[in-house]
Structure 1
Amino acid sequence: MRLTRFTDNALRCLMVLGLEPTECITVHAIAVRMNMSYEHLVKIVQRLAELGYVETVRGRHGGVRLARPAEEIRIGQLLRHTEENLTLVECFDPETNTCPIAPACALAGVLDEALTAFLDVLDRRTLADALEPRQQLVALLSRSLDPPTPSSTELAS
């Protein structure tokens, strides 16, 4: 199973906001820190606001911030809200299933059990859990804001 870029970027956006829960951070700043497309992140932030995960603040000191504490944001719930399709195989969707062995196949049950276990683990974890080790994450994000260091050959010229 692979999560969509939308969900991945939504999680990373929330992590940035969770590290500075009282601050409004611009979408541009989040995009730079996390090496994301600004245009894609705008859509993600809009959807996260609609879902109640973030709130947007207009104005000179505006930006985005968490709408609720990181301890209240369940990763499994977020994944269900941002992934368009958790159908692992064709036979999970009776409307589009064309598999001729579906009525007798045990594999679908095994895959469904695995998906349920995956989501159960994520339901037990919160955004706050993903923010550890906090100091290391903060250091890595602040490093991503530093301008690139010139190489030794650039310094010699």
Structure 2
Amino acid sequence: MNLTSFTDYGLRMLMRMASAPDQAFSTADLAEEFRLSRNHLTKIMQRLAQGGIVETRRGVNGGAILRRSPAEIRLGDVVRLLEQGQTLAECFGPGKGACTIEGCCRLKARLRQAEARFIEDLNRSTLLDIALPARVAA
């Protein structure tokens, strides 16, 4: 199993934000800290905002803040949101790919169960559990 970079980067951003939940974080600052594309992080931040995880504000004091306490944000819910539209296997996607055993496959149901258990297991942890250490101001 492999999470997309979209999810990986989104989790990194949230881990930093959880270290100072009352602070607004700009996408530019996060991109610089993690040495990632600002454009890519902007798209991730938009998805997190649409999913109700963060709130974004424009302007001089703008940036993104967590909408809830890190202790209330379940990791499985975040992964499900960020992996939205990704399929575990080709046969899960539209058109079912090039699968020739669709009618008799017993693997698909097991993969769906495993995916559900993966999300359930992640939901036992919160963003608070994986928050990065707070940064000391220079």
Deviation of the 1:98 alpha carbon = 4.2
Distance in 2, Cα, partners of 1:101 & 1:86: 21
2:110 is the counterpart of 1:125:
no
Q: Which runs of 5+ in 1 are unaligned?
A: 147-157
Larger Rg: 1
| 2:80 is the counterpart of 1:66 | no
1:44 is displaced (CA, Å) by: 1.5
TM-score, structure 1 length as denominator? 0.74
| Matching residue of 2:2 | 2
Structure 1 runs of 4+ with >6 Å offset: none
Mapped to 1, the partners of 2:25 and 2:116 lie a distance apart of 35
3-state secondary structure, aligned to 2:103? helix
Match of 1:49, SS state, is helix
Following the alignment from structure 1 to structure 2, what is the Cα–Cα distance between the partners of residues 37 and 96?
A: 32
TM-score normalised by structure 2 residue count: 0.83
Q: Which residue matches 1:111?
A: 111
Which structure has more RCO (C-alpha within 8 Å, separation ≥ 6)?
Answer: 2
Aligned 1:33-72 pairs, distance under 5 A: 33-72=33-72
Please list, as runs of the form range in 1=range in 2, the aligned pairs for 1:83-122 lying within 5 A after superposition. Answer: 83-93=83-93, 95-122=95-122
The Cα shift of 1:14 comes to 1.0
**What corresponds to 1:152 in structure 2?**
none
Q: What 5-or-longer segments of structure 2 have no aligned partner? A: none
CA–CA separation in structure 1 for the residues paired with 2:22 and 2:5: 27
Cα deviation, residue 83, structure 1 = 1.2
CA 1:95 to 1:55, structure 2 compared with 1: closer, same or farther past 3 Å? same
SS at 1:60 equivalent: coil
1:16-66, Cα deviation, whole Å (9 max, x unpaired):
111011111222111111221111111221222222211123332322211
Percent sequence identity is 40
Structure 1 or 2: larger helix share? 1
Q: Tell me: CA distance 1:32–1:102, structure 2 relative to 1, closer, same or farther (3 Å).
A: same
Distance 2:101 2:39 in 1: 43
Matched letter for residue 56 of structure 2:
T
Partner of 2:71, secondary structure, is helix
Superposition CA RMSD, Å:
2.4
Matched pairs, number: 138
